[in-house]
Chain A
Amino acid sequence: MTTIREAGSSRMLHLGFALILLFLLVPLLVIIPMSFSETRYLAFPPVGFSLKWYGAFFQNPRWIGALGWSVGVAICAALVAVPAGVCAALYLRHRSGAVVNVVLGALLGAQIVPTIILALGIRLVTAPFTGSLPVVVVTLAHATLALPFVVATVLPVLNKLDVSVEKAARMCGATPVQAFRHITIPAIRPALVGAFVFSFFVSFDELMIALFTFQTIETLPVRIWGEVRQELTPVIAAATSMLIAATTAAVIVGQAHIVRASSRLADK
């Protein structure tokens, strides 16, 4: 009885999952072909095949500038998020499930608050300022959004690393700092790489905070947003396609690192 019902509900689950996946994929399947269109406007189905919109992207200093800002902010955000997340994970290591849930919940809070509210708050605080302060604030805000991903990536790997590995390092003659530097960090390095990649793209994809806070600076999502509101050229499709490709590649690379991180520690 139960098995039949379970099989039925699991089939429903699969169907639902497939529908959601399709829903998510359709826009991608539309946008990527459009970026190769020869027309001067966004056309679906695309007409002909050309790489000229990709060329246009790389020849336009505004697009390149936006790409530069996005990469810069994303690297800085990841450089903040990963060490902060590692500290949080070290604190949570070996703590009871209740403590872990409370802290992770608090970290996730920043994501549950609609980004637009977060963005509005940041805008109101930073409005009087120009120069580097908004950049710093946006970077920190992106780092905050990335933090739970870092903790969720690093914590399970850290928990898998037997404490006796670090104890063994101490018995070999390592001070606590040496044990952390030479053993703990390298032992979980693949997870750190994965966390860095995820953090980078959390920031790289983020529109709302950057849009509200920056007055003169454009990041890639901000530039796409601005372009969409003015004229719909296939350059947007080209930019978006590259964003999609980069994000997908990053998820795969990041995930591969995480899998490697735990498989290396798995069989002890």
Chain B
Amino acid sequence: MAGGGDAAGATDRRWGLENGSRHRGNALTGARILFSSIRKVYRRDVALSSFSLAIEAGEFVTLLGPSGSGKTTALNILAGFTAASGGTLGVDGKSILDLPPEKREIGMVFQGYSLFPHMTVAQNVAFPLALRRVAKSEIARRVGEALEMVRLGSFGARMPNELSGGQRQRVAFARAVVFRPRVLLMDEPLGALDLKLREAMQLEIKRYHAELGCTVIFVTHDQGEALALSDRIAVMTDGEIAQVGTPAEIYDRPDSQYVAEFVGRINVFPGQRRPGNRIEIPDLGLTAALPDTVAGAAAETVNMCVRPEDVEIVGPADASGMLACDATVEEAYFLGDTVSYSVALAAGRRITVEHQRRASTPIMPAGSRLRLGIRMSSAHYFPAV
């Protein structure tokens, strides 16, 4: 009897161990992250005032904001380099604020690549595994895999200063993920690369994310990059999140004029409130109905905002469903597939119009008169502050 019990216990223990290791295998699916009211106050600045963000397992979230808005601070608090002044931060439901960076099991890619200058590419990538006392043969196998993933399989023996910027960035990436962290942080990883390389690396990063399945927090102040890469974007301003949403939500339904202006471009028409929840826009000489979302706001001035692509150049007759108005070209910016016109409306307001073009499309010179159709159904209304 006693012997049977022992055997059962041993089996249980073995199962427990196996369950444990299988669980660790699943760890590749990424971790949930919950920032709750995280604050960071420096002597002169409030870097983060109340940062709350819930990130799903395996999600790709971008912190997008202008310089000084607190993106790096948020990332450093998660990485463990900066102590929060208040709030809580959990990874998979466990608080990690008391752990030093090396205990958090988070991968990170820095803007300056930050490769170890005295180590070869392979040694750089092996470093996290060597610290974890992984067996030599296993290290060799996993370093090989990681370098294959970033298409640098034959570069293991090179020194970092023998690589191009893009190659260094990929080594930094391989090093950050080789120990299979469930969370990967990237602080402007493409900031130092030229435009073509940036675009190529954006595709690569998307591919790595799909392959690895870890949760990614990506920091950038490039809105195009954020729109192209993210599952969700958190737009930041002055240590706060202005809006969180999918790229389409952020672009199509901005919550504030700040978000509308920061992500994409926008034309602003100031308007005055009139009785019956209406707004009068002198620049366009019209009165429109306000949507319910702004109808309750107290502000007397409400801005109507329209993206340049919702303003079209139309013929005399075919402005159907659009508000027609006359304008004069002031300047034309040739962008290849589009021409961006800066035009003046009759009332004097200057707006931007983007015109899709083909090789045969002539570019209208300054002074040309044209007729615009404004798609009023796509307009956004924000109370002026």
Contact surface of A with B, Cβ cutoff 8 Å? 161-162, 164-165, 167-175, 178, 182-183, 186-187, 189, 264-268
Contact of B101 among A162, A170, A189 (CB under 8 A): A170
User: Complex Cα distance A165/B80, Å?
Assistant: 15
A residues near B114, Cβ cutoff 8 Å: 162, 164-165, 167-168, 268
B residues near A164, Cβ cutoff 8 Å: 110-112, 114
Q: Is the interface of B mostly helix, strand, loop or mixed?
A: loop
A170 touches B110 (CB 8 A): no
Q: Tell me whether B118 is interfacial, beta carbon within 8 Å.
A: yes
User: Complex Cα distance A172/B179, Å?
Assistant: 8
Q: With contacts A172-B179, A187-B117 known, is A162 near B131, CB below 8 A?
A: no
Q: With contacts A189-B118, A264-B161 known, is A173 near B110, CB below 8 A?
A: no
A residues near B374, Cβ cutoff 8 Å: none
Contact of A174 among B102, B119, B161 (CB under 8 A): B102
Q: With contacts A170-B101, A268-B112 known, is A186 near B118, CB below 8 A?
A: yes
A-B contact pairs, 12 of them (CB 8 A): A162-B112, A164-B112, A165-B117, A167-B101, A167-B114, A168-B114, A169-B116, A170-B101, A171-B107, A172-B128, A174-B131, A178-B131
Which residue of chain B lies nearest to A163 when distances are taken between CB atoms in the complex? B114
The list of the 5 closest CB pairs from A to B, nearest first, reads A172-B128, A168-B114, A171-B108, A170-B101, A164-B114
Q: Tell me whether B175 is interfacial, beta carbon within 8 Å.
A: yes
A-facing residues in B107-149 (Cβ within 8 Å): 107-108, 110-119, 127-128, 131-132
Known: A167-B114, A266-B161. 4 other contacts (CB 8 A): A162-B114, A165-B117, A173-B105, A173-B179
Which residue of chain A lies nearest to B118 when distances are taken between CB atoms in the complex? A186
Which residue of chain A lies nearest to B132 when distances are taken between CB atoms in the complex? A173
Q: With contacts A189-B118, A264-B118, A267-B161 known, is A173 near B128, CB below 8 A?
A: yes
A175 touches B81 (CB 8 A): no
Contact of B108 among A168, A266, A268 (CB under 8 A): A168
A residues near B161, Cβ cutoff 8 Å: 264, 266-267
Contact of A172 among B81, B100, B111, B131 (CB under 8 A): B131
**Of residues A165, A167, A168, A178, which shows the largest number of chain B Cβ atoms within 10 Å of its Cβ?**
A168
User: Complex Cα distance A182/B101, Å?
Assistant: 17
A residues near B118, Cβ cutoff 8 Å: 186-187, 189, 264
In angstroms, how far is the closest chain A Cβ from the Cβ of B261? 31
In angstroms, how far is the closest chain B Cβ from the Cβ of A181? 11
Contact of A173 among B79, B115, B116, B131 (CB under 8 A): B131
Which residue of chain B lies nearest to A166 when distances are taken between CB atoms in the complex? B114
Q: Tell me whether B106 is interfacial, beta carbon within 8 Å.
A: yes
Q: Tell me whether B176 is interfacial, beta carbon within 8 Å.
A: yes
A171 touches B127 (CB 8 A): no
User: Complex Cα distance A183/B132, Å?
Assistant: 16
User: Complex Cα distance A268/B171, Å?
Assistant: 13
A residues near B127, Cβ cutoff 8 Å: 169, 172, 174, 182
B106 touches A171 (CB 8 A): yes
B residues near A182, Cβ cutoff 8 Å: 127
A168 touches B131 (CB 8 A): no
Q: With contacts A187-B117, A264-B118, A267-B161 known, is A167 near B128, CB below 8 A?
A: no
Which residue of chain A lies nearest to B126 when distances are taken between CB atoms in the complex? A172
User: Complex Cα distance A160/B305, Å?
Assistant: 47
User: Complex Cα distance A232/B161, Å?
Assistant: 54
In angstroms, how far is the closest chain A Cβ from the Cβ of B31? 15
